[in-house]
Amino acid sequence: MFLGKVELRPHRVALFTGNYNYVMDGPARALNLLVKFLERQGMEVRVYSPTSDTPAFKPTGTLISVPSIALPGRREYRLGLGMPAAIKEDLEAFKPSIFHIASPDLLGHAALKLAREWDIPVVASYHTRFDTYLRYYGFGVLEPLLTKAIIRFYNQCDQVFVPSASMAEELHTQGINTDLRIWSRGVDHALFNPSQRDKAWRLSHDIRDSEVLITFVGRLVWEKGLQFLVDTLESLRARCVPFHCLIVGEGPARAKLEKKLPGAIFTGHLSGQALARAYASSDIFLNPSVSETFGNTTLEAMACGVPSVCANATGSRSLVTHNHTGFLAKPNDKNDFVHWLAKLAKSPKLRTAFSRHSVESAQEFEWDAILNDVMKNYYDAIGQQFVLVESDLPSDGLAAAEQTLAKPGFDYNRLRYRGTLQHSFTPLQAANMGGES
């Protein structure tokens, strides 16, 4: 029998991802912060992901290892091998109220299929433009096929979280017509700020305060536009624009990149205050990548007061305001990048103005507010699809039903009927296990 709509709190979240902690990258960092936030709100989260014997960092929350193999051509990453029986049994025991899929891989496809079989809401977050990566490894001809497969996957989800408005526009243009919502990224302003600039650190690298330091921060992989970065910096130097170059990050392309950029400073992976100091001690941040969905490093640079020169592509164009916080150059146009880099390098006054504007713009990005929006999206996903039809609930009206719902230990996951209400009722505010109402 119908009793009315019930607003369910998503108290058990099953999160599926291709990398949670074995490689430190932007998506892994964002997912760990999300899990930490959700657990602070009293929710239970289980993360299902491939793991490694040499993880990059300790995972937040409960991590369940999924069988996997090293990804061919990129052995630092792993490919989850679908949904084995043991993982399915673990999920059955966990009784999730919502599935969150962070990678459209074999594990993600299996999770999507299972969510539909179990009639559980499923949301996805879009972190990486996997289809664009093919062009950097000699498989560009396959890019349209992979793009179509990705579109088909996301169109089966109830909601898709994208990091930026520019990425949402791109996906909509490609044909993703499901409910697209923004899951932006935040920055730790107590850590990333202009006060971290360190003249002594610059001098230790033979960089005087009057000289220009151009910095790239990110995973050292070719799909980040590293060859274009090399070509651009060579052209800039050929135009007799003096500068120093700092490369922060680690990855499989490092050895070749060091040979291509003799004289550049390579720090390897940095984190915490060492990373903030590297940003703030720079004068220009350079990000030539056209595969960004957001641009965490660009935002961190802005928070540290560093003007940026970035490709006018997804991610960057949602962060950088052209001729205000930096410059947006034509993607893959070396001459345009060189033009804007030279303009900034030659004008300390312009860099100072852009620095101030960058810090002001970065203030909008606060982690707690952003992650709270993700939690609200979970509520919406469940609220859109659940109605209360439990036959074992009291039949004498909503008041008695509400008392039953408020009892400690009531399993809201039993309320799994999708359908259209036949009557209009006042929503019941059912909270998490334990009886809040």
β-strand partners of 10:
none
Comparison of pLDDT for 91 and 127, the residue scoring more: 91
Q: Select from 2, 10, 3 the least CA-distant residue to 431.
A: 10
pLDDT in tens, 96-113: 999 999 999 999 999 999
Strand residue runs (E) in 156-218: 159-162, 179-182, 213-217
Q: Is the pLDDT of residue 3 over 70?
A: no
List, in order of start, the domains of the chain with CATH numbers.
4-186+367-382 (3.40.50.2000), 194-362 (3.40.50.2000)
Chain centroid, CA 16 distance in Å: 14
Cα–Cα distance between 88 and 260 in angstroms, integer? 48
Residue type, 77: Y
Q: Select from 136, 61, 163, 148 the least CA-distant residue to 104.
A: 148
- Alpha helices in 41-126, H assignment, sequence order: 85-94, 106-118
H or E element that contains 191: none
Q: How far is CA 70 from CA 81, 144, 394, in A?
A: 11, 24, 53
Q: Is 141 exposed, middle or buried (0-12, 13-18, 19+ CB in 10 A)?
A: exposed
Q: Select from 221, 350, 134, 26 the least CA-distant residue to 229.
A: 221
Write the CB contacts of 5 (distance below 8 Å, at least 6 apart in sequence): 383, 386, 387, 388, 421, 425, 427, 428
> What confidence score (pLDDT) does residue 70 get?
87
Quick one: DSSP state of residue 213? E
Q: Provide the mean pLDDT of the chain.
A: 85
Q: How far is CA 353 from CA 301, 306, 307, in A?
A: 15, 10, 9
> What confidence score (pLDDT) does residue 132 get?
57
Rg (CA), the chain: 24
Q: Is the pLDDT of residue 390 over 90?
A: no
Residue type, 399: A
How many other C-beta atoms lie within 10 A of the C-beta of residue 346? 12
pLDDT above 70 covers a percentage of the chain that reads 82
> What confidence score (pLDDT) does residue 25 get?
87
Cα–Cα distance between 395 and 418 in angstroms, integer? 20
| Tokens matching residue 168 | 């949402």
Q: Is the pLDDT of residue 392 over 90?
A: no
Cα–Cα distance between 109 and 104 in angstroms, integer? 6
Q: Select from 339, 309, 414, 423 the least CA-distant residue to 8.
A: 414
Q: How far is CA 2 from CA 265, 404, 406, 418, 426, in A?
A: 67, 15, 18, 12, 13
SS3 call for 204: helix
> In terms of residues, how long is the chain?
437
Over range 177-185, report the average pLDDT. Answer: 94
Cβ–Cβ < 8 Å for 356, 305: yes
pLDDT in tens, 398-410: 455 555 555 555 5
Q: Is the dihedral of CA 229, 134, 20, 171 positive or negative?
A: positive
β-strand partners of 71:
74
> What confidence score (pLDDT) does residue 432 get?
31
pLDDT in tens, 221-239: 998 999 999 999 999 999 9
Q: Is the pLDDT of residue 384 over 80?
A: no
Comparison of pLDDT for 141 and 51, the residue scoring more: 51
| Tokens matching residue 21 | 């902690």
> What confidence score (pLDDT) does residue 7 get?
47
Q: Select from 293, 282, 39, 82 the least CA-distant residue to 184.
A: 293
Half-sphere exposure of 85 (CA within 13 A, CB side): 0
Q: What are φ and ψ of residue 282, in 5° steps?
A: -95, 165
> What confidence score (pLDDT) does residue 237 get?
97
Q: Is the pLDDT of residue 87 over 80?
A: yes
Q: How far is CA 102 from CA 54, 56, 111, in A?
A: 22, 19, 11
Q: Which residue has the tokens 């650190």?
A: 201
